[in-house]
Structure 1
């Protein structure tokens, strides 16, 4: 079947006109794009910028908390005052804040059981806790780092560490007394054991924070194993180590009472145990408050040290 010549010419003419129309529309759209882009780009940039600021400002846990902490302490103190002055609980169960303050004054001047001033109790308790804590930090950090970088060390040291870590200090206290006697050595060893495990575990976990790229870069620069551990692994593990230190000091104070059960004549734990034998709950509460305040103050100092040494923590 033959197609008329005029029909072919009409189709060619229509196709040519369609192509020219499409080309014209494309060129006009391209001519309009530069004019319309400046109207949209600043708005998009502004939204992106404001979104970035919002994300930075709304980071979880960011912002000051001093006012909230002060309100929390004031609320607890007010609740304590109401519970005692409205006789919700008898004084034997919960003494009044005034009675606890008078117990503090009496203890400071040595007018409680035992006759020792409070300063001597504070000295011996601080010596035991912080001495054992320092010894644990000096020994547990290298052990934890070694477990993090060495397969052999991890295989050898992980079983005994995981075995004794969940044990309460009272469980092995009799053995420590048999092995080391009833002098200060046994008390420090018990607290050292309580502090050692969390520090070692934190150091081992922190040693894994160093990335493969960092390790390869240090090795390619000719760093030895000791240099890589010192300048790459240890800085990467520092945030976890500081967290482990904060946890360990809490374990140290909780173990103090158990440690001072062993023939101690001075110490906050011994003072609390002695007062409980005479139902002096005001002295017991006073000792608890002192231990809590000392531990809290140390934790605040550790937080300040953490902000100075690892300011990048939580900002990655």
Structure 2
């Protein structure tokens, strides 16, 4: 018994040797959020900032209750949220089924990479508002142009992430698969795609964030419902409590989707960071 208690345990590199960034930051993040909320209460309670510029948490909560029950900007908060969710998720899944295969093809085929890489790299840094007028001219002001604008914003980071994941695969792994008799399709499916999954999920996380960022721009065009529309409409009437309430709702939804993608990533890629 004494020997078993005193026997040295195997070393864990992430713990014993102090890998950079190791450990959970949940408590620090929670403390940071609580401090910021406390400062918000303090600043507004002491009257250091006019309510027009920074309404109190109580005013924002009252506006939230009003938006849920009676509605703001001609619709309830649930209706605004469902409209925005439909646009963002529709664009995200459309980008997922197109951008990931395109990125993989760019990684494994130099002709496809040569054809598509300049186009993606050219429009990727452009803000969505820059090509929004062209989308209106080409596609009109219906629902599809809004989804298409968000799709374009999501497509680039997801395709680039998939391409980067493919290009980061170890050459030794590919040669070993060929040496064991694997075909080109099997190498792509079982070696390259699996090795690229971490990068693909990183692109998905970036893409969903960019999608929510682009939502406000998309709902500037002939929208009558949506969180971005609600924020813009409230800003026209200087209703800063509704603006902040809408920003918080968008931020919470975006964060929730990021957490969901992280959880799916941990389930599908349990080896990430361990090899």
Q: Same fold (TM over 0.5)?
A: yes
Q: Deviations over 1:140-184 (max 9, x none)?
A: 001111111111111111110100000000000011111111111
Return the alpha-carbon distance in structure 2 between the equivalents of residues 154 and 147 of structure 1: 4
Of the three residues 139, 146, 168, the one matched with 1:187 is 146
User: Greater relative contact order: 1 or 2 (C-alpha under 8 angstroms, separation 6 or more)?
Assistant: 2
The question of 1:144 aligning with 2:103 is answered yes
Return the alpha-carbon distance in structure 1 between the equivalents of residues 20 and 266 of structure 2: 17
Change (3 A) 1:302 1:191: same
Q: Please, which runs of 5 or more residues in structure 2 have no aligned partner?
A: 1-6
1:1-316 equivalences under 5 Å are 52-53=11-12, 56-57=15-16, 58-114=18-74, 116-316=75-275
2:88–2:147: 8 Å Cα contact kept in structure 1?
yes
2:72–2:230: 8 Å Cα contact kept in structure 1?
no
2:270 partner SS:
coil
Partner residue in 2 for 1:20: none
2:15–2:22: 8 Å Cα contact kept in structure 1?
no
Q: Deviations over 1:273-308 (max 9, x none)?
A: 110011100000000000000001111111112222
Q: Deviations over 1:221-273 (max 9, x none)?
A: 33222221111110000000101110111110010000001100100000001
Q: Please, which runs of 5 or more residues in structure 1 have no aligned partner?
A: 1-44
Return the alpha-carbon distance in structure 2 between the equivalents of residues 110 and 273 of structure 1: 19
How many residue pairs get aligned? The number is 268
Q: Deviations over 1:16-75 (max 9, x none)?
A: xxxxxxxxxxxxxxxxxxxxxxxxxxxxx97xx78x446534222222222112111111
Q: Which portions of structure 1, spanning 4 or more consecutive aligned residues, are displaced by more than 4 angstroms?
A: none
Return the alpha-carbon distance in structure 2 between the equivalents of residues 208 and 315 of structure 1: 20
2:166–2:193: 8 Å Cα contact kept in structure 1?
yes
Change (3 A) 1:310 1:119: same
2:189 partner SS:
helix
2:100 partner SS:
helix
Task: Between 298-307 and 215-224, report the one with greater CA deviation.
Answer: 215-224
Return the alpha-carbon distance in structure 1 between the equivalents of residues 238 and 204 of structure 2: 35
Return the alpha-carbon distance in structure 2 between the equivalents of residues 208 and 110 of structure 1: 53
Partner residue in 1 for 2:3: none
1:89 partner SS:
coil
Per the normalisation by structure 2, the TM-score is: 0.93
1:187 partner SS:
helix
Per the normalisation by structure 1, the TM-score is: 0.81
Q: Deviations over 1:78-109 (max 9, x none)?
A: 11111111122110000000000000011112
Q: Which has the larger radius of gyration?
A: 1
